[in-house]
Amino acid sequence: MNTKLKFHFPYLLLFTVLGFISCGQDTTDSIEIRGIYGNPKPLWDKGYQLNELGVNAIFVHSGSINEDMINRARSEGSKVYAEFATLNGKNYVETHPEAWAINERGEKVEAATWFMGVCPTEPGFRKYRFDQLRDLLLEYDLDGIWMDYVHWHAQFEDPEPILPETCFCNHCLDKFSKDSKVEIPEGSTAQKAKWILNNQDRAWRNWRCKVIYDWTFDIKSIIEEIKPGTLLGLYHCPWNDEEFNEARQRVLGLDYNLLKKTIDVFSPMVYHKRMGRDPQWVQENIQWFSNELDIQKGTFPKIWPIVQAHNDPGIITTEQFETVLRGGLSGKSSGVMMFTTHSMAEDEGKTEVMKKVYSELKDRH
């Protein structure tokens, strides 16, 4: 063997090995967000600091945020993101019946087991939510707004989801007719709904997706008007295109091709236990979703999933929690968080798992 080749061969081998290691660590090396969902107080009450646990982001319901929380989180190296309960009509429709979603029989929808939706086109509710958002942005300096409950009335976080046909109120019927240039025959609400579903089903489904997209567009516009550069995130159903007879798009109204025009960060709600899935499903889902969105590293939109730590239904073991936490970092994900901070903080084993995983990511970053 040539002496020069002898000399260079070990280095060539080393560079090759390092190249494989680098490729294998592409995901972990580019993780931006090591998050928790929920008020960090349970961790603070136990004497922890966020940075010593590897946490660098908190996601908190907008109603729980205050200046002291923001200041302390920032002093411990964390960004602060507010969850914004967008289309949750609980405590609103009861006093504003005009915003109650109407089913294909012309009746008010029943509340799901824990969720009450709202008609997304009702003008009064839209103003109510947008005013809340403006107040939130003006009061607090936030790193992002995370829209939650962004779908037509339904409940997807169960093995057997609740998927009603909505909304056939006069607001929706008139807006659908105008936007889609469809003349709906006269008749009762039930007769109009039946005609639409039998004769204009595709146009109806596409229009419903556009209504949801318009919410994200309007919220993005308000953010850019008041606090430009603030991220817009979306907590959303993680079903693929085929599940439950294409219900994610057909019933919930979630069209990724539309939503990725406005959403900066997608946060699939991959709650494996609640949805009756195995822990390994989280990794499979995030890999599928990465391909579906054609995510490119370092560009928008990004993927920061939220995984389940909460013991309901059943018990999430520390092993399962580690599996789903790492699974949430699969594919082109660049961040992860867990539901909820309290559920993780009250279990010392889960706290240690989070610290281990987040510290590894922090050291590699």
Percent of the chain with pLDDT over 90: 87
Q: How many CB atoms lie within 10 A of CB 13?
A: 10
pLDDT recorded at residue 99: 98
What dotted CATH number matches 32-364?
3.20.20.80
pLDDT digits (tens, 9 = 90+) for 82-114: 999 999 999 999 999 999 999 999 999 999 888
* Separation CA 57–CA 51 (nearest Å): 10
Q: Closest Cα to residue 213, out of 249, 157, 253, 241? A: 253
Please give the average per-residue pLDDT across 135-164, as a whole number: 96
Angle between helix 189-199 and 201-226 (nearest 10): 100
Please give the average per-residue pLDDT across 134-151, as a whole number: 98
When mean pLDDT is compared across 19-23, 68-72, 171-175, 190-194, the lowest value belongs to 19-23
**318 vs 23, higher pLDDT:** 318
**300 vs 7, higher pLDDT:** 300
Residue 29's pLDDT band, with cuts at 50, 70 and 90, is low
pLDDT digits (tens, 9 = 90+) for 249-280: 999 999 999 999 999 999 999 999 999 999 99
Residue the block writes with tokens 């609980």: 90
**To the nearest whole number, what is the mean pLDDT of the chain?**
92
Residue 18's pLDDT band, with cuts at 50, 70 and 90, is very low
Query: How much is the pTM?
Result: 0.91
pLDDT recorded at residue 298: 76
Extents of the domains making up the chain: 32-364
pLDDT recorded at residue 30: 86
Residue 239 CA, chain-centre distance (Å), reads 12
Q: Closest Cα to residue 324, out of 363, 285, 365? A: 285
From residue 357, alpha-carbon distances to 11, 46, 260 in Å are 32, 20, 29
Residue the block writes with tokens 């659908």: 176
Residue 6's pLDDT band, with cuts at 50, 70 and 90, is very low
Task: Say yes or no to pLDDT of 10 above 60.
Answer: no
* Separation CA 13–CA 292 (nearest Å): 36
Task: Say yes or no to pLDDT of 20 above 60.
Answer: no
Task: Say yes or no to pLDDT of 1 above 50.
Answer: no
pLDDT recorded at residue 362: 86
Task: Say yes or no to pLDDT of 22 above 50.
Answer: no
pLDDT digits (tens, 9 = 90+) for 159-215: 999 999 999 999 999 999 999 999 999 999 999 999 999 999 999 999 999 999 999
DSSP string of 58-122, one letter each residue:
EEEEGGG--HHHHHHHHHTT-EEEEEEE-S--TTTTTT-GGG--BBTTSSBPPP-SS-----TT-
